[in-house]
């Protein structure tokens, strides 16, 4: 086989490999970005759920505080009436 033909064939083969490697690198970058975005979306959803849970607990504590104040004032009135 002619060395010039062999060299051109090897160069063509190397160019094919480099094209495939560049395309594969882009695909892995895209998939990496997609997985990062999905992970951030999941974390955002989790944080939003936790924030909603905290809001609910705060509302319950406020309700309990108000009812305790009312009950406390009611019991003070009862004690004052007994004296």
Give the per-residue pLDDT at 69. Answer: 96
The size of the chain, in residues, is: 83
pLDDT beneath 50, residues of the chain: none
CA atoms within 13 A on the CB side of 36: 6
Give the per-residue pLDDT at 74. Answer: 96
R_g of the chain, CA atoms, integer Å: 36
Name the DSSP class of 2: -
| CA gap 33, 44 in Å, rounded | 16
Give the per-residue pLDDT at 23. Answer: 66
Give the per-residue pLDDT at 80. Answer: 92
């Amino acid at each position: 086989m002619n060395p010039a033909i062999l060299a051109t064939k090897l160069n063509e083969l190397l160019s094919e490999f480099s094209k495939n490697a560049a395309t594969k690198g882009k695909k892995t970058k895209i998939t990496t970005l997609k997985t990062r975005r999905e992970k951030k979306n999941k974390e955002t959803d989790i944080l939003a759920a936790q924030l909603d849970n905290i809001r609910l607990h705060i509302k319950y504590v406020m309700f309990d505080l108000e009812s305790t104040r009312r009950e406390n004032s009611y019991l003070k009135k009862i004690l004052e009436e007994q004296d």
